């Protein structure tokens, strides 16, 4: 079953239109791919749509990803002949954190977890976004309570650029229908109970019926379950919606 208000063909048409607009009007733009299912839908639409000239794709290679997730870089190369650019943390920052706190200190407190995410994700993200006019994510509104107000187009005040979430209106079923219909490669962890995939020590499989984000930082309160890429100082950024992207009626 697709999104309750919009058919999948209409969602695909609207998403293609959004990506084409970004490639035409917001270059240089970057797509921050986590290499998970949603991001593979966008990867497929960008690369099959020949939009890589305006939109480049990167991933945050935190040093703590599953082998299956890293394997997606090869799958993308084989399928689309495209090299996703990995952004890695500063080695000296990682070494200092591990030396002072321990390798897995993120289990000890929310603060320790946010500091690890800051070193391994936020600082590399800031480097990846520098000099661009817009960035793109694969976030969907239905993924969690922290994403309930997500819009297709927003203004990212923290980074001073446009931010697009082209799949904001897509349901999980829409994502999987697209993947299966178009033979899109996907992370094999999704078939092992991982609907949401992050770093290996901070992600676990969930039970049927659990929230799709329940396997991420499961030891914390649900309200704090964001990696910091879309929050500032531990709070959700008040991102102003620029315009609700019109859904095309095919
Ligand atoms: S998800 Fe976990 S391992 Fe990855 S950067 Fe955040 S705290 Fe560190």
Residue 164 Cα to ligand 1 midpoint, Å, equals 24
CA distance 132 to 30: 7
248 pLDDT above the threshold of 60: no
Residue 116 or residue 246, greater confidence: 116
Q: For residues 240 and 100, what is the distance between their CA atoms, to the nearest angstrom?
A: 38
> Ligand 1: which residue has its CA nearest to atom 1?
199
Question: What pLDDT is attached to residue 234?
Answer: 38
Closest CA to 69 of 212, 186, 159: 186
Tokens of 145: 């309570």
Count, residues in the chain: 250
Q: Please work out whether the CB of residue 63 comes within 6 Å of at least one atom of ligand 1.
A: no
CA distance 120 to 62: 5
93: helix, coil or strand?
Answer: helix
User: Does the pLDDT of residue 166 top 80, yes or no?
Assistant: yes
Percent over 70 (pLDDT), the chain: 84
| CA 223 to ligand 1 centroid distance, Å | 17
Which region among 23-32, 75-84, 185-194, 227-236 has the lowest average model confidence (pLDDT)? 227-236
Give the β-pairing of 29-32 and 55-60.
parallel
**Which band of pLDDT confidence, cut at 50, 70 and 90, is reported for residue 229?**
low
**How many A from CA of 117 to the centre of ligand 1?**
5
Tokens 């992600």, residue?
Answer: 203
CB 39 within 8 A of CB 9: no
106 C-beta closer than 6 A to ligand 1: yes
pTM: 0.85
pLDDT reported for residue 123: 98
Looking at 138-142, 158-162, 170-174, 216-220, which range is the least confident one?
216-220
Residue 54 DSSP one-character state: T
Question: Is residue 230 in contact with ligand 1, taking CB distance under 6 Å?
Answer: no
H-type alpha helices, 118-181: 123-129, 172-181
* 199 Cα: distance to centroid of ligand 1 (angstroms): 6
Strands (E), the chain: 29-32, 55-60, 85-87, 134-136, 153-156, 161-164, 231-232, 235-236, 240-241
Q: Is the peptide bond before 28 cis (omega within 30 degrees of 0)?
A: yes
The model's pLDDT over 128-163, given as tens digits with 9 standing for 90+, comes to 999 999 999 999 998 766 667 899 999 999 999 999
The set of catalytic residues is 227
Query: Tens of pLDDT along 18-64?
Result: 999 999 999 999 999 999 999 999 999 999 999 999 999 999 999 99
**Residue 230: pLDDT over 70:** no
- Tell me, using a 6 A CB cutoff, whether residue 117 lines ligand 1: yes
Q: Would you say the CB of residue 237 lies under 6 angstroms from ligand 1? A: no
Mutate which of 61, 70, 90, 202 for ligand 1 pocket (most atoms within 8 A of beta carbon): 202
Higher-pLDDT residue of 209, 121: 121
Sequence-separated (6 or more) residues with CB below 8 Å from residue 47: 80, 82
Averaged over 4-30, what is the pLDDT?
Answer: 95
């Amino acid at each position: 079953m697709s999104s309750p208000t919009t058919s999948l063909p209409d969602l695909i048409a609207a998403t293609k239109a959004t990506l084409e607009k970004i490639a035409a009007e917001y270059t240089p733009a970057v797509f921050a791919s986590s290499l998970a299912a949603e991001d593979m839908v966008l990867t497929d639409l960008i690369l099959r749509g020949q939009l890589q000239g305006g939109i480049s794709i990167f991933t945050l290679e935190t040093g703590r990803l599953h082998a299956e997730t890293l394997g997606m870089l090869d799958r993308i190369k084989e399928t689309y002949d495209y090299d996703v650019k990995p952004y890695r943390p500063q080695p000296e920052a990682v070494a200092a954190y591990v030396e002072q706190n321990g390798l897995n200190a993120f289990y000890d407190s929310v603060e320790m977890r946010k500091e690890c995410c800051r070193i391994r994700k936020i600082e590399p993200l800031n480097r990846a976004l520098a000099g661009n006019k817009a960035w793109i994510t694969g976030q969907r509104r239905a993924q969690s309570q922290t994403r309930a107000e997500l819009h297709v187009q927003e203004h990212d005040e923290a980074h001073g650029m446009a931010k697009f979430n082209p799949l904001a209106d897509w349901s999980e079923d829409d994502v999987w229908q697209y993947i299966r219909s178009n033979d899109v490669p996907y992370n094999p962890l999704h078939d092992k109970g991982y609907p949401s995939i992050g770093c290996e020590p901070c992600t676990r499989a969930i039970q049927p019926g659990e929230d799709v984000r329940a396997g991420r930082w499961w030891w914390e309160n649900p309200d704090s379950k964001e990696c910091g890429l879309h929050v500032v100082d531990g709070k959700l950024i008040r991102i102003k919606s620029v315009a609700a992207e019109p859904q095309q009626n095919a």
